[in-house]
Chains A and B, each alone.
Chain A
Amino acid sequence: MVLAVTAVLARRADLLVVATPLAASAVWGVLLRPTSTPSIHQALAHPTLREGQATTWRVRLADPDSRVEDVAVAFDSSGWIDQQPARGRVAVSLPDDGDEALAVTIRPTRWGVHNVNPALVVASSGWNAFRFVSRRWPTNRQALLTFPEPARFDAAAPPVPVPGLVGANRSPRYGAGSEFATIRPFQPGDRLRRIHWPVSLRTGDLHVTTTSADHDRHVVILVDAFDDAGQSGGIDGRSSSLDIALRAAAAIAEHYIDSGDRVALVAMSGSGVRRLPPASGHRHLRRLLEVMAQVHPANALFDDGRLPRGIRPGALVIMLSPLLSSAARRRLAILSDHGYRVLAIDCLPTHIADDDDPYVGAAWRIERLKREPHLRQIRGHGIAVVAWHGPGSLDLALRGLHHHSTVRSGQR
């Protein structure tokens, strides 16, 4: 416009030629301007994921005039979130491409609660004459809850016998269950409907069928987040001790919940000790995973040594810990003294001494040597200490606990 005015005032027609495209684009831009402000909605497609799973941060733009032409999205993730496109930048031509493509794929690579900041969205009309910029208000931040990815786990060992009468597992004791155990001679007090007529007729004496009692197994998972030893590389890299502990805890919880057992959780983390009472079912599994996802390493451990309410004596307590702190070792001893069947899973990463810094590597080797006498002391208490190796890694220890319990109940 300035050039056009100058051309007229200076009476220079050649400058008018120079100004023509600029004037044309200015007029075109004004003609295409929107009359109302577009509205932008952006949200996570899934607020809860497992490590390594991906979701999308989707942006929707409502433009009543259909005058917005170009929309650009800039999404900046931080921490343990990968994004696709790698820079988190997407631009589309709204009339041609639609707003379906206005999405950034995000993938949390580590468990935890990740705060996802809203994306910067820039919408512009023709010739960029009108521009609408969304602000990244902190209140629009969304929490992405990422559950630990359960490690591969399976246990073929027989269940550890616990006192209990109702449940999915066969008790070594006879009782009112559904699974056949044996046929024995009738005794006063036996129910008449239990009489096994074929054997009774053949032998001439009354015989009854007996069944194994069904029992509930209470499993307490105790996660020690006092130390997070080693560097975490997320789901695709190396695991720290807390990564191992939580992924193993998730796998164990899933295994026992699938078996119909009641699982309780004690998570000793920086935000305090969180306890979940024993329960079964997949809703409870989700609660367990939610608490696990909110664990973060503690700088100081406050542990009152209490277990969740409702834990039966003789419950199986599985503690996941790098066993570096004296508090964790003390807790194991106390639990064993209280009559629980205790199993300690050593979560110290095997690669921890393979550090690039030779001094750090040496320090970890020394720390491991210092830990050995303590581990022997724990084993001396009758507590099995096993390293986590995935499927079947607890079988030997669980068989040992089962055998020990059967012998003890037989002695009684």
Chain B
Amino acid sequence: MSGRFPVAGTLVLVGAILALASTRAASSETTLAIELLVVVMALITALRPDHHLGLLVILLVGFHWLATVDAATTPWSITTAASLALVHSATAAASIAPPATPWTPAMTRRWTRRFVTVTAPSTLTWLIVIAVDRADPASSPALLTAALLVLAAAGLWARHGNLRTTSESPPL
């Protein structure tokens, strides 16, 4: 990987466009304004990955999916998940080094391996969703409470020391 933007920046843009394409394929209706907004924000993220606009891109695509897709078991959810994972990974990878920093092959291999690793469970989740869909889990208050509790516990655990940014103190 010779430079940062040519690869990582392009991947952010490609990921966002693929996510929108999957959403469009899974739904009957489209919102052109939202799609344009996502593409513009993805472009800015590709140029300035240090900003938090990448997070907004992911949220916007997620809510766009929520608003436009009705089919709960559609396989397009897997491609959307993979596309969003691509946006997320590429944004994180692009911000580990200042612009135009060449990567070593080991870095490229590790990031690629991890992207594949986090994308794979989507298929498993999708299969679980298909399996439990017939049981109508959405109408079970116990399952909903359990899911919320799990998420709350995960949030509390992640909050402890997560995503810290520190810098060294000045020399005395």
Contacts and interface: CB of A to CB of B under 8 A. Distances in A.
A132 B126 CA distance: 37
B102 A17 contact: no
A365 B160 CA distance: 75
A137 B95 CA distance: 22
A11 B72 CA distance: 10
B157 A70 contact: no
Contacts of A69: 110
Interface in B122-171: 122, 125-126, 129, 132-133, 137-138, 144, 147-148, 151, 154-155, 157-158, 161-168, 170-171
Given A18-B62, A93-B106, A12 B72 contact: yes
A89 B100 contact: yes
A24 interface: yes
Interface residues of A, number: 64
Interface string A32-43: 010101011000
B168 A30 contact: no
Contact of B66 (A6, A126, A135): A6
B5 interface: no
Nearest to A133: B167
Contacts of B106: 92-93, 96-97
Contacts, number: 189
Chain B interface: which size bin? Answer: 35 or more
B78 interface: yes
B31 interface: no
B81 A18 contact: yes
Interface string B2-35: 0000000000000000000000000000000000
A1 interface: yes
B81 A21 contact: yes
Contact of B107 (A8, A37, A91): A91
Contacts of A124: 96
A30 B164 contact: no
B73 interface: yes
B114 A8 contact: no
7 contacts: A3-B58, A8-B144, A11-B144, A14-B69, A16-B129, A25-B85, A133-B167
Given A22-B85, A124-B96, 7 more contacts: A25-B85, A27-B158, A30-B157, A30-B161, A91-B96, A96-B104, A96-B106
Interface of A: 1-6, 8-30, 33, 35, 37, 39-40, 69-70, 72, 74, 85, 87, 89-93, 96-97, 101, 120, 122, 124, 126-135, 137, 139-140
